[in-house]
Structure 1
């Protein structure tokens, strides 16, 4: 059992500061793990979590990695459990650079809007409060919320770089003469990045490794699974030796990391097969019925994820419906039926289909 703010020392200049899980019924916010690393005279902090107690632990960890005279704060994405203490950058007393993903700035400025939209998708799928009430209740847990500092700017203000690691090619940004690599991933949410620390071999997936399928309104299942596959290759080629993430409180090394990542990919394919089984031969399903069957598949397949609960399972279920090509028949009904669009060939009166027509050129 881990405690909030507990430290896992990776080496004499790198440490993982552990967060905690989400428990809405106990009014406990989830707090993301943070990485602290020193390269030369530069302190690197990856994410800052949330809550005053985690802030204190993170600040203490910065003193455990050796002397530094500059600082670099990297935000992996804009969710509250990762950004609440970002103004810590203003208190370090040294020149600081702080970067956040541009696609996530809107949700950092107005998290309520982002989460209300997210929860609207699952209205009627589970016995949860109304979307605005649920968003308010959840966000009230993540206090104080200080996602910006004086030096905050977007990664995208820097030129995008081609980054080669082993046989793989990424796009992103490098710091500290290439010792710190920020790689665009954008699966868990629209702006997500992952971080590779070259000198200590750490690959930090942040929330791309939360589970086999993404829950967020702006999640991209293909990108999540592509990132997991690329991470496997980095470990197989020994370009990375230690896997960390935002919400599992462990270090995974070498072949153990590969087995873990392969397991997530296997779960993704198994869940899609289970989802097809829930839908069956019908071309129509109500999200509440699908979510119930999908949650049962989660349990039977022993799929966990970072924060297993009914709310996130319902959010994943809606994403899975869309992934399988179903769409709501009514945009306003909370639990109206979803179905696949009817497929047809264009009729003879449709543009570009008359005899002798070459169609659009």
Structure 2
């Protein structure tokens, strides 16, 4: 199974504000299907404050690509870092985890963002682009919930469990008034509207994590292994999370999986997931943080990889989550950009880099994981 996860009191407080305030997709602890509020952008620190906290590397132009899951966070990081570090320019292309891995492994980028770790063959391949006998390593930087967004007029709250989700996305449940859905939503007036599923058309870490959840928790209904490419037949497709969310928004009866900020931006309602706990778990940053806190850390060499527990039954823990890794050479791959790359990574993992992420729709990683990442960045040569 693919690995993938408490921050200090200030970070947790920010998460509570984000979920229970303007960010909340659901009423806190109440109606999981209430209308979401637009995602606010936390204001970047002032230039003077940022300069005092950020250690700038040698000025350079960095190119990176990959995960759409971290795109909102990356925009915030780039704005703040480059404001403090004059002369450094950073471009991030959210082209999907698979494309980001490919860019990195062919030497086109300084680092990649990926919601899935490289496999053993890819790590071996990285030795060709990494300098001085180095190789690629994985540094988890940000996490968050994968929201199952839906568009079903008249239905404000929708509860689904793993087997029902698997049958929906596998084409075995095709109408919204199906008895399996009705049994989980006894108070809802479900229409006979056809279900229109949407999945990612590109190689995607979000798909990898969503299918890993289905494979781990609904084996009888989901006969596929986890994969970055969508494995099932049928359904509509879209490249990138933004386009997938747009497809769901414009389609009556539509349902699809996207990272939380994309659902919030489109004002989409999201599924509450029945996990076996007393109450279904809502897709919000606090619920995702609860789940990610239970992940097992797998440290191999300089890697820090998290193994998510998709079958968690911890009360209030939302089980469908993603952790994004920055994939980077442990000894650099481009001498002209390596100092700036290390400095930017150090900023992302710093307290200042992590403290406002809940306002962008992201879950907090455990303190021990963030501390391990900071130590590893400090050892990069």
Fold in common (TM above 0.5): no
User: Which is greater in Rg?
Assistant: 1
Q: Which has the higher contact order (CA 8 A, sep 6+)?
A: 2
Q: Give TM-score, length-normalised by structure 1.
A: 0.28
